[in-house]
Amino acid sequence: MGFYYYNYTYFLWMLPAILLTAFAQMKVQSTFRRYSRVHCLRGCTGAQAAETVAYYGGVRGLQIRRIGGSLTDNFDPRNNTISLSQDVYDSASISAVGVAAHEAGHSIQTAQGYLPNRIRTAIVPATQFASRLSFPLIFIGLILPVQYSFVVNLGILLFSIAVLFQLVTLPVEFNASARALRSLDETNLLTSDELNGARKVLSAAAMTYVAASFTALLQLVRLLMIASGRRSDDN
């Protein structure tokens, strides 16, 4: 009975999330490539945009560095560092400026104590712990007799923490993009047409977070249905 989690109904249940995730990935890649070929009129690189936007938002002591990979850009609040991929750091394209400004938006959130960002940071350790243990516990619980359903329930509880992290991430990401676009406009780093392109790049990137949250929620509902079904069998 435990292994029916793997049967074809699971894949049918998750199909909308799979399709949405695939679409979001294709959308962000295609949009980034499109606007990476359009250079900004003022010639501002991604690194310069990140520095300007962060400073405009009140961030001081920020470090900006190159990293490898593609679309691996991130902000680390532990050392106040923005890491930009090669395609972003040196590029003066609309895509590069938009992505770099988004990461600068995260640095501003940290500097200003943006509440959802503080919540997300606070639950990172619990999320890492829960992510490692949730599915092993669920799988073990499904193998065990029904009277050990508490093992499944514990795994689902831990997985719920990971789902919460995904949901809290949404306002953090949307807010970082909003801060970025507003700062790019107010500092005149981009023209109005270029700003519209940057908005499309960041909107496409935001879809990946929406897809991740939707996937996590569907998984949680599925797991709750499995747990409920086991309790019904026990009765």
Q: Which residues are catalytic?
A: 103
Neighbours of 231 (CB within 10 A): 13
- DSSP conformational letter for 188: T
Concatenated DSSP letters of 154-173: HHHHHHHHHHHHHHHHHHHH
> Is residue 97 a contact partner of residue 87, using CB atoms and an 8 Å limit?
no
Neighbours of 21 (CB within 10 A): 18
Q: Where are the alpha helices (DSSP H) in the chain?
A: 8-36, 46-56, 86-89, 94-112, 115-122, 124-143, 149-186, 192-234
Residue 188 and residue 191: Cα distance in Å, rounded?
A: 7
Answer positive or negative: Cα dihedral of 28, 71, 125, 13. positive
Residue 203 and residue 205: Cα distance in Å, rounded?
A: 5
One-letter amino acid for residue 165 of the chain: F
Residue 196 phi/psi, 5-degree rounding, is -65, -40
